[in-house]
C-alpha cells in the first residue's frame, strides 16, 4: 500500500496535466488575437444594427435585426427586419417596418420589401409590398398596391408617391376611398 497509493496518485496527477494536450486545440482557452477569415472581415454582419440621422431637423433611426455589409467601399447594406422611426416637429411620430431592406448610405436610399407597414401615431396605417425612401429629400414611392385605414376612412390604390416637403401623397392607378362622415364631423 505504501508503494501503490503514491504511484496511483502520481499517475493521476500526470494524467490531469497531460490530458488537455490530447484534446482538440480549437476548444482550448487561449489569450491572443482572434483568428478571423479575411473574406469574412471584408463584408461585415451586424446583429441589432442601428443608424441614426436627421431629416430637416427631424431625427430618424433605422434599426435591423441583422445588417450585412454588401461592399465596404460603397457602404451598402442588406437588412433583415428593418424598422424606421421618425419624430416630427410637432411631437408626433411615424414607424415603418418591413421584412427585408437595402440601404445605400452614399445615396441615402432605403428600399423596403415584404409586408411594408407604415404607422402614424394619429391612427393612420398603410400596407404595401415594396417602398423606396429617399432619406435626403424625405420622399417615398411604391408601385405595388397599397391599402390603408385611419380615423376618417379606408383607402386602396395601385401605388403611391409621397412628397415630404409639400406634405402630399398621390395615390396612383385605380384608387378607392371610403370616408366615414360621422367621424369627420367630430373633429
Q: Could you read off the pLDDT of 7-64 as tens digits, one per residue?
A: 988 988 888 887 766 665 555 556 666 666 666 666 677 888 888 887 777 788 899 9
Domain span holding position 159 = 42-186
- Is 175 domain-assigned? yes
Looking at residue 100, its pLDDT comes to: 94
- Is 10 domain-assigned? no
Residue 163 binned pLDDT confidence (cut-offs 50, 70, 90): confident
Q: For the chain, what is the domain count?
A: 1
* CA nearest to 123, candidates 161, 95, 99: 95
- Is 9 domain-assigned? no
Mean pLDDT of 80-105: 88
- Is 128 domain-assigned? yes
Mean pLDDT of the chain: 83
As a whole number of angstroms, the distance between CA 146 and CA 75 comes to 30
Instruction: Specify whether the CB–CB gap between 155 and 147 falls below 8 A.
Output: yes
CATH number of the domain enclosing 54 = 2.60.450.10
Q: Per-residue pLDDT for 187 more than 60?
A: no
Residue 182 binned pLDDT confidence (cut-offs 50, 70, 90): confident
Q: Give the residue, 182 or 171, on which the prediction is more confident.
A: 171
Residue 176 binned pLDDT confidence (cut-offs 50, 70, 90): very high
As a whole number of angstroms, the distance between CA 38 and CA 165 comes to 45
Mean pLDDT of 68-95: 83
Does the pTM surpass 0.75? The reply is no
Residue 167 binned pLDDT confidence (cut-offs 50, 70, 90): confident
As a whole number of angstroms, the distance between CA 184 and CA 178 comes to 12
Residue in the block written with cell 467601399:
73
Looking at residue 137, its pLDDT comes to: 81
For every residue of the chain, DSSP letters joined together read -TTHHHHHHHHHHHHHHHHHHHS-GGGS---S-----HHHHHS-EEEEEEEEEEETTEEEEEEEEEEEEEETTTTEEEEES-EEEEE-TTS-EEEEE-SEEEEETTTTEEEEEEEEEEEETTS-EEEEEEEEEETTTTEEEE-S-EEEEETTEEEEESEEEEETTTTEEEEESS-EEEE-HHHHHH-
Q: Give the residue, 111 or 123, on which the prediction is more confident.
A: 111
Looking at residue 37, its pLDDT comes to: 66
CA distances from 140 to 4, 63, 131, 132, 136 (A): 84, 18, 7, 5, 11
Amino acid at each position: 500500500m505504501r508503494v501503490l497509493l503514491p504511484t496511483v496518485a502520481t499517475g493521476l496527477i500526470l494524467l490531469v496535466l497531460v490530458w488537455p494536450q490530447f484534446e482538440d486545440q480549437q476548444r482550448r482557452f487561449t489569450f491572443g488575437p482572434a483568428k478571423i477569415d479575411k473574406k469574412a472581415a471584408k463584408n461585415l454582419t451586424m446583429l441589432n444594427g442601428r443608424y441614426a440621422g436627421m431629416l430637416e431637423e427631424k431625427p430618424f433611426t433605422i434599426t435591423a435585426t441583422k445588417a450585412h455589409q454588401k461592399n465596404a467601399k460603397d457602404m451598402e447594406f442588406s437588412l433583415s427586419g428593418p424598422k424606421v422611426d421618425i419624430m416630427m416637429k410637432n411631437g408626433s411620430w411615424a414607424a415603418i417596418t418591413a421584412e427585408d431592406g437595402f440601404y445605400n448610405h452614399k445615396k441615402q436610399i432605403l428600399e423596403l420589401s415584404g409586408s411594408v407597414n407604415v404607422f402614424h401615431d394619429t391612427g393612420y396605417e398603410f400596407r404595401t409590398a415594396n417602398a423606396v425612401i429617399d432619406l435626403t429629400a424625405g420622399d417615398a414611392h411604391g408601385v405595388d398596391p397599397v391599402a390603408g385605414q385611419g380615423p376618417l376612412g379606408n383607402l386602396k390604390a395601385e401605388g403611391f408617391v409621397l412628397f415630404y416637403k409639400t406634405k402630399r401623397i398621390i395615390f396612383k392607378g385605380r384608387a378607392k376611398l371610403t370616408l366615414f362622415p360621422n367621424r369627420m364631423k367630430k373633429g
